Structure 1
Amino acid sequence: MDMRPEPFEPPAPIPRTVPPSMLEIIRTVFRNPLELWGEPSYTLPWIKTSFVGEKTLIANDPGLIKHLLVDNAANYKMAVVRQLVLRPILRDGLLTAEGAVWRRSRKAVAPIFTPRHAKGFASQMLAQSELYVEKYADADGAVFDIGNDMTELAFAILSETLFSGEIATETDNFADDVDDLLHTMGRVDPMDLLRAPSWVPRVTRIGGAKVMAKFRRVVRDTIEKRRERMEREGDAAPSDFLTLLLRVAGPDGLTIEEVEDNILTFIGAGHETTARALAWTLYCVANSPHVREAMEEEIDRVLASGAEPVDWLDLMPWTRAAFEEALRLYPPAPSINRAAIADDKWTSPKGERIEIPAGITVLVLPWTLHRHTLLWNKPRAFMPERFLPENRDAIHRFQYLPFGVGPRVCIGATFAMQEAIIALGVLMHRFRFDMTAETKAWPVQRLTTQPANGLALRVTARPRASSIS
C-alpha cells in the first residue's frame, strides 16, 4: 500500500465560474492575468469568445495547437497586445522581432545554442553555482528570499557563459533592477487592451522610463567594452555570445540596433525564465518530503560517482522531473499570443470543424493547458513522477509547452535545462530549503510567472554534505 500523503497542491488562482465584466477584465489583466481565466479554459478543448471586443480563440487541444503553432505557423503573427507590451522593452530582440528581422536574428544567435555548444558551458555553470551558494555557508537556518537569490544565480551563470563575465552592470543588486523593469514595463496597460497606438502614453509605465534607460546604458557600455577588447586582442577575445553578435553586425547581418536589442533580450529576459522556475522548484520540493528525499539520494549518488556536470541532466531523472513539473505548474511564459493573417480551419479527429477567421486573436495558454482536466491527472498537484522516464510517453508533445513550440520555440531550452539541473544539484547537495511562517507564495504574471512577494525559505546545511570541487 502507498502510504505517501496526498501530493502538494501549490497556490494558484481558482478558475472563475462567472464571466468578468469589462471593468473586471481590465483590472484583473493589470493586476494579475493569471486570475482572469474561467473554468471553461481548464475543462474544454477550445473556446471561441470575445475578449475586450476582439474575437478570440483559446486553444487547449494538442492537435489544434500543433496546427496553429507548427503545421500552419506561417499564417499566425504576433498578437497586437503582446507586442504593445514587449516591444517597448525589447524592440527587435529575438522575442519580439518578426519577418526578415527575426530570421536574421535567429540565424545569428542559433550557433551558440546548439545542444553541442550548450553542453560546453557545463563547467562554467557548475563553477558559478558553487561560488554563489557560498552565501549560505553560515546560514544556520536563516531565511532567504529564494526568488531573489535564484535571479542572482541565473544572472551570474548567464553573465559568465554568454558574456564572459563582462556585462557592464552599474550595481550589485541586479535582481532588484530586473524586478523594477518587470514591475514598471512588463505588465499590460489598459491602453494595450484597447489597442491604442504605441505613441499613446501608458500611465502605468511612466516610472519605467528611467529603469529602461538604465538597461539600455548597460547594454551600450557592454558593447563598447567588448569592441575595444576585440580591436585590442583580435582572435584572443572571448568567443562567446557577445562577440558572435558583434561579428555578424554589418550590412549583410544585424544592424547595431538589432545587436543591442538581442543583448538586452538575453540580459533582461534570458535568465529570468530559468530563475523563476528554479525558485518554484525549490518551493514545491520544500512542500514534498518524498520528492526531496528521492532528489537528495539521487544527487548525492551522482556527485559521489564523480560524474561530469555535462552528464547530470541524464543521470538525475528525479531532479529533472521535479524541475519539469515546476515548469508545468508555473510556466515561465504563461501565454502564447498570435493573430490569424488569413482565414484558416481545423478538423479534430472526431470530425469537429473549427473555422478560424482572419484577424482573430489566438491564445495558447501554457498556464491553463498545463492544468487542464482533459490532459492531466490531478492537474493542480505537484507530481514529478509524471516526468520520470517510464511515464514520459503518456505526455503528448503539444500538451506541455514550457519553452513554446514551432519555429519560435525557445532557442535556449537545452541551455536552460542543463543550467537548472546543475544549479539544483549544487544547491540540494549542500543545503536543504524549508518553509517558514513568512513563506506566502502567490503566482503573478508579469513577463514571467513570478512569486508576487518573493519566496522566503529557510536554508540549513545538510549533514555531511561537502563541496563538489
Structure 2
Amino acid sequence: MDMRPEPFVPPAPEPRATPPSALETIRTVFRNPLELWGTASYTLPWTETKFFSERTIIINDPGLIRHVLVDNVANYEMSEIRQLILRPILRDGLLTAEGHVWKRSRKAMAPVFTPRHAKGFAAQMLAKSVEFAQRYAALGSQGKVVDISTDMAELTFAILSETLFSGQVVTEGDNFSKDVDQLLHRLGRVDPMDLLRAPPWVPRLTRIGGQKVLDKFRNMVSQTMALRQKRMDEDPQSVPQDFLTLLLQLAGPDGLTVDEIGDNILTFIGAGHETTARALAWTLYCVAQSPLVREHMEEEIDRILASGAEPVDWLDLMPWVRAAFEEAMRLYPPAPSINRAAIADDRWTSPDGDVVTIRAGMTVLVMPWTLHRHELYWDRPRAFMPERFLPENRSKIERFQYLPFGAGPRICIGATFAMQEAVIALTVLMHRYRFDVTAQTKPWPVQKLTTQPRDGMPMRVSLRQTKSSPVI
C-alpha cells in the first residue's frame, strides 16, 4: 500500500464549461485572463476560437509548438495585442523589439548570459541572499508574518542590481517593488481598447496614472546610464565590466542606439527580476503545503552545505531544490502566454496524420498556463509533484511540453541565470528558516505581465529547529 500523503493541489481557476459572452470576455481579460480558458484548452492538442471576429488558435501539442516557435519561426511575428500592451513600457527592449533591432540587441547581450558567464555570478548571488536573509534573523521560533511576494521581489532585485549593474542602479526611496507592481498594474495588462484593436493614440482608461510611474522608471534609467558613462569617461580603469558597461560600450552606428540601450536597461531592471521573484514566492508557498517535499529539500540543503560545495555547483547538486522550483514554474509559469500572429498561411501535419491549417493574420497562442496543466501531457496536472523533475524522471517530459522560459530564438536569455539564482536563494532561505501558511494565506493567481498572487502572499517565517548551527 502506498502510504505517501496526497500531493498538494494549489489554487487555480477551474476550466470554463461554457464559452463567455463578448462582454464577459472583456471583463475577464481585464480582471484576470487566467480565468478565461475553457475545458478544450486543457484537454485538446489544439483548439480554434474567435475573439471579436478574429480567429485564434490555442496550441498545446508539443510538435505543433515546435513548428511555430522553431521550425517555421520566420512565419510568426509578435501579436498586435501583446505589442499594444508592452511596447509603451519597454519600447525596443529585448522583450518587445523585432526584426533587425531585436537581432542586434540579442547578439550584443548574449555573451553576458552564457552558462559559463552566469556561473560567474554565483558568489554575488550567495552574498546578496545571505545579506537579505539577515532581516529574518531576529524572528525567533514563533516567527513573524511577512508578505513573501514583496520580499522575494526585493531579494531578486538586489541580486540583479549587484550582478548586472554592480549595485549602481539609481532608485528613488525604498518602494521599488511597489513601483514595479504599480507599473504592471497600470500598464502591464490588457485594456478593452486593446481587444478592440484601437490604435495606440486612443486613450486607455485603465492605464491612467501609469505614465507617472513609467516616467519615474525612465528617469531612474537615465540617471543610472549618466553616472556610469561619466565614470567611464573620467576613470575607465575603475569601471566594473558588467552588463551596464557592456551596453554602454555598444553605443554607436554599428551597435545600439542610446534609446535602445535605455530600453534594455529598463527591461532588465523592471522585468528581469520580476519573473524569478514570483516563481520563488509560489515555490515557498507550495513547499509549505507539502511536508514530505520540504523534508527532502531540507535534508538535501543541509547535507550539501555541510559538504562545503561551492554555490556555483548547487544547481547540479540539489535536485530536490531545483525540482521544486521547476514544478512551481509549471503550475504558475512566470510568463503565462506566448502570443504570435501568422504572416502567411501555414500547414502542419501531426504524426497521426492530422492537418492543422493556420491562416495568414491568425493569432496563435502558446500558453504555458494551459500547456503546463494539460491532461494529455501531465499526470495529475493540477497537483504539486516536484518528483516529475528529478533526474530519473526528466526524460518523460518532452522539450516543448514545458516552457517556463519560452522556446526558439526568443527563449529567455537569462534562463540559466534565473535557475542558478533561484536555487541559491532557496538554499539560503530554507537552510535557516521555515516558511508556513497562515489563515490569511489565500493566494489567487492573477495574470498581469507575470503570474502573481492577488493581494500578496502572507506567510509566517520562523527559525528552523536544527541540530547544528547554520552553515551559511
**Which whole-Å CA distance do the structure 2 matches of 1:163 and 1:226 have between them?**
10
How many angstroms does 1:84 deviate by? 0.3
**Which whole-Å CA distance do the structure 1 matches of 2:139 and 2:280 have between them?**
20
SS of the equivalent of 2:268 reads helix
**Which whole-Å CA distance do the structure 1 matches of 2:456 and 2:7 have between them?**
23
How many angstroms does 1:101 deviate by? 0.5
1:123 aligns with 2:123: yes
How many angstroms does 1:467 deviate by? 4.4
1:427 aligns with 2:433: no
Out of 146, 164, 169, which is 1:162 matched to? 164
Q: String of CA shifts for 1:21-50, please: whole Å, max 9, x gaps.
A: 000000000000000000000000001121
**Which whole-Å CA distance do the structure 1 matches of 2:444 and 2:312 have between them?**
33
Residue identity in the other structure for 2:452: Q
1:307 aligns with 2:309: yes
SS of the equivalent of 1:266 reads helix
Structure 1 residues 33-72: aligned runs within 5 Å: 33-72=33-72
* Deviant stretches of 4+, over 3 Å: 464-469
Out of 161, 165, 172, which is 2:174 matched to? 172
SS of the equivalent of 1:349 reads coil
- 1:210 maps to 212
**Which whole-Å CA distance do the structure 2 matches of 1:52 and 1:31 have between them?**
18
SS of the equivalent of 2:278 reads helix
- 1:99 maps to 99
**Which whole-Å CA distance do the structure 1 matches of 2:399 and 2:148 have between them?**
31
**Which whole-Å CA distance do the structure 2 matches of 1:233 and 1:40 have between them?**
61
Structure 1 residues 291-440: aligned runs within 5 Å: 291-440=293-442
**Which whole-Å CA distance do the structure 2 matches of 1:292 and 1:229 have between them?**
47
Q: What 5-or-longer segments of structure 1 have no aligned partner?
A: none
- 1:270 maps to 272
**Which whole-Å CA distance do the structure 1 matches of 2:235 and 2:465 have between them?**
47
Change (3 A) 1:66 1:96: same
Q: String of CA shifts for 1:183-234, please: whole Å, max 9, x gaps.
A: 1011100000011111111110011010000000000000001001111221
1:149 aligns with 2:151: yes
Q: What 5-or-longer segments of structure 2 have no aligned partner?
A: none
How many angstroms does 1:466 deviate by? 4.0
**Which whole-Å CA distance do the structure 2 matches of 1:232 and 1:309 have between them?**
36
Q: 8 Å contact 1:76–1:341 — kept in the other structure?
A: yes
- 2:2 maps to 2
Matched residues, percent identical?
A: 73
How many angstroms does 1:235 deviate by? 3.4
Change (3 A) 1:124 1:468: farther
How many angstroms does 1:236 deviate by? 2.6
**Which whole-Å CA distance do the structure 1 matches of 2:256 and 2:447 have between them?**
31
- 1:27 maps to 27
Number of residue pairs aligned between Structure 1 and Structure 2: 469
**Which whole-Å CA distance do the structure 2 matches of 1:117 and 1:53 have between them?**
47
How many angstroms does 1:91 deviate by? 0.3
Q: String of CA shifts for 1:160-187, please: whole Å, max 9, x gaps.
A: 0000000000111211111111110111
TM-score when scaled to structure 1?
0.99
- 1:132 maps to 132
**Which whole-Å CA distance do the structure 1 matches of 2:237 and 2:357 have between them?**
55
- 1:75 maps to 75
**Which whole-Å CA distance do the structure 2 matches of 1:466 and 1:164 have between them?**
31
- 1:283 maps to 285
**Which whole-Å CA distance do the structure 2 matches of 1:31 and 1:49 have between them?**
20
**Which whole-Å CA distance do the structure 1 matches of 2:416 and 2:35 have between them?**
31
